[in-house]
Each structure stands twice: as C-alpha cells, then as structure tokens.
A and B are shown apart, each in its own frame.
Chain A
C-alpha cells in the first residue's frame, strides 16, 4: 500500500471513473427539467473533479499532497454553492410556483 505505483489499481482507472461521473453530471445539467436535479448534477460534477484531484495527489504528488488541500477547498465551496443555490430555488418557487427549468425565463431576451 505504501508504494502506490505497484498497487493493483492504476491511476487511469480513477481518471476513467471521474470522467464518467463528470459526463453524467453534464448530461443531467443540460437535460433536467427539475431545478433540484440540476443542483444535484452540479454536485456530481464537483465530485468528479475531486476524484481527479485526489488521485493525482496520491499517485504523482504523494509526499506533499497539495491535491487533498485543494479538494478540501472544493468541498467548502460546493457546500456554500449548494446553500445559496437552494435558497435561490426556494425564492424562485415562491414567485413562480413551479420548479420547471423551462419556465424560468425571466432573464430571456
């Protein structure tokens, strides 16, 4: 376990899982009509980025682990983003009585 390069799981395996998670998040972000699901898709994408940071930090930067510090910051910002996003969603719902993304077109030209 100490020598990560000799472990059974290569770095690329983590990158592939993270790429899949990110693409699923992008698809959900584009196609969801429920506004809560859009926020969930954003969380999925942030998690994919975190997996990438952590795997690089463990395999390439194993002695300094800057990637772990960065992923802690990402987690912090994600928590703040979720709180503000859901507050915006609540006030939108109070004004328009729907959570359909297609009806949130107040800022359209």
Chain B
C-alpha cells in the first residue's frame, strides 16, 4: 500500500512538472518547431494524468487524437507556412505582455482560491476503475446518443470545410480576380501551396 501511494504521488509530481514547464515553454520559446514538439509532450503528460485518474480509454483517445492527429496537423501547418519572417516591432509590446501577464496571474489566483476554499463533496462514490470503458460505451449509445451522432456530423462538416478552405481555387479564375479587385490590401504576389518550382 505504501509503495503504491508513493508511486502515485511521484508519478503525479513528475507529470504535473512536465505539464507546467512544457506549457510555459510552448508559449515562451522563440522557435515554433520546438514549441510544437513540446506541445506533444504536454499532451502525453496529460494522458498520464488521465491514467492516474483511472481513465484508460480517455488516455488512449487523448494520445491518438491529440498527439497523433492534432500535433501532426500543427507540425504540417508549421512546415507549410514556415518562412522565417522577421516580425515588425510594435511599440508597447512589453507593457502589453506585462499587463496581460498581470491579468492571467489574477485569473490564476482566482481559480486557485476557488479550487482550494470550496468544500467539494468528497469523498464521492468509489471509482469504478477498469470498467470505465464499458460504462463510457453504454453512455455513448444510450443517454448520450444524440451528442454522439452530432459529433460525427460535426467531424464530417469540419473535414469538408477544411478541404474547401485549404485547397487552391483552380476551377474559377474569375472569383480569384474579383477577390483581388475587392481587397486592395492584398499583396499582389500569391504563393501557391505547392507550386511547380517548389516540387522540383
């Protein structure tokens, strides 16, 4: 029992340290590629927390969806738009960062106060442990059936929308010209996603 306790405590401490430092690094690092890979690390540490909370199915879903899909998608986006541009300096950036840091610190203090001083209804019913996956399946096909189907429709819509948004409009050149005419602020030179030259 003692070994189990200390193991759980050590696992929690390591995972939360990874989450805290990793999220700070994701936000603060200059190089966006490092940020993306560290984001994958944060996602995996969150999956570890789910395992500590007796939720193996959601941990597996977290790894599959976040690390396997979202993080890879972010890496692809970085590779597609990575042009190492020098950002123009804007004045007041330091004060903006400081003020927003103050606001976020205040929000953090507020959340900490709420989570510590609230009398949670503990201890609740004992955790069901390994049967969680079966119970999630029952939930998804009985009382959460409508949200489940809506989620599938949402995924289909998102997929079609992403394809429509991200593809080059090759079929209608007139629409493209109208766009150029309507928006004066557009830069004239368009960079196609995968031009003939970049493929060679």
Which single member of A3, A6, A88, A106 contacts B165 (CB below 8 Å)? A88
In contact, A90 and B53 (Cβ under 8 angstroms): no
A85 to chain B, nearest CB (A): 9
B101 to chain A, nearest CB (A): 6
Contacts of A1 in B (CB 8 A): 4, 8, 54, 127, 129
Give the number of residues in A that approach B within 8 Å (Cβ atoms): 85
Contacts of B190 in A (CB 8 A): 94-95, 97
Contacts of B49 in A (CB 8 A): 14, 17, 51, 54
Give the number of residues in B that approach A within 8 Å (Cβ atoms): 96
Known A-B contacts A86-B162, A96-B186; A13 and B12 likewise in contact (beta carbons under 8 Å): yes
Residue of B nearest to A19 (CB): B111
Known A-B contacts A34-B32, A44-B42; A65 and B5 likewise in contact (beta carbons under 8 Å): no
In contact, A59 and B120 (Cβ under 8 angstroms): yes
In contact, A16 and B124 (Cβ under 8 angstroms): no
Residue of B nearest to A98 (CB): B85
Contacts of A50 in B (CB 8 A): 46, 62
In contact, B6 and A8 (Cβ under 8 angstroms): yes
Contacts of B173 in A (CB 8 A): none
In contact, A96 and B97 (Cβ under 8 angstroms): no
Which single member of B5, B96, B124, B136 contacts A69 (CB below 8 Å)? B136
B78 CB–A CB distance under 8 Å: yes
Which single member of B19, B107, B147 contacts A21 (CB below 8 Å)? B19
Contacts of A100 in B (CB 8 A): 85, 87-88
| Chain A contacts to B: CB under 8 angstroms | 1-9, 11-17, 19-28, 30-37, 39-41, 43-44, 47, 50-51, 54-55, 57-66, 68-69, 71-73, 75-84, 86-91, 93-100, 102, 106
